[in-house]
Amino acid sequence: MRFSPNVILFAIRLYTEFYLSSNECSILIRDVLKVDVSGRAILNWIQRFAPYFLRITRVYRPRYSDIWYIDEMFINRKGSKNRPGRQGYLFTVYDENRNVIATLLSDRRDSESAIKVFKTAFKETGFYPRIVSTDKCHIYDALRRYKGKFRHVHAHFETKFIPYEDGLLMINQNRIERYHAEIRPKEVRMRGIKNFECGTRFFQLRGVVHNLLRKHQTLGCTPAEYSGLKLNIGWNNLAVILESCAVC
């Protein structure tokens, strides 16, 4: 590629970690690095390098908690003059340590999508959780088919106390609602999602950035580090890590 890895990673960081449009990222790169990059090129880089970011989680896998939170948020879908946009939904599985385990963009808010994102989370972690928390939406009643494998708790903003190990665990949906609140301004700047396959790839990349590269304001470290993973990953050495993970 005719652009250096530093330029590409700087563009990906601007677009994924901050609430900027691709054209605003292009302007910043031109002003800071003195390099002319189009907004379209930045979006192409997101799609091209997202699979390589996902490979990082195969090598530097976060130690996921056995307490999961599942929730969905509506996403505006781009349309055209002849085909108005429809509303879609972003499903997320989040753990107690604030790691994003799985994401899924779906046209429908139904039980099939809820089960699909749960299966994706199970495939990512390799184990069933002990507790799964959802809101009271009827689509999550489909999790009953896994009866006996985990405890399903219906909670939203109210707090429920659940026996866990030798004490009581406070369960509510505040953590995952806070994560969706982080995503909402970005979705607004994107002005909706046109292609759900590309959109899913972006939100998966955003999850890797959230887990491994973006320090949580309350924790003072990344969720992966908080969960006990000892690593030395940063944007400064990410090019080397991506290169090593590409051959794994």
pLDDT at 237: 83
User: What local confidence, expressed as pLDDT, does residue 91 receive?
Assistant: 97
Domains assigned to the chain: 5-60+231-246 (no CATH), 67-194 (3.30.420)
Give pLDDT, residue 102: 96
Question: Phi-psi bin for 43: left (phi > 0), alpha (psi -120 to 50), beta?
Answer: alpha
Quick one: pLDDT at residue 83?
A: 52
Confidence (pLDDT) at 103 = 95
As averages over each run of 10 residues, the pLDDT of the chain (248 residues) reads 87 93 94 93 93 86 93 81 70 96 93 96 94 94 91 88 88 92 89 85 93 88 88 80 68
Predicted confidence at residue 152, as pLDDT, reads: 94
The whole-model pTM stands at 0.90
pLDDT of residue 14: 95
pLDDT score recorded for residue 243: 75
Please report the pLDDT score of residue 167 as a whole number.
87
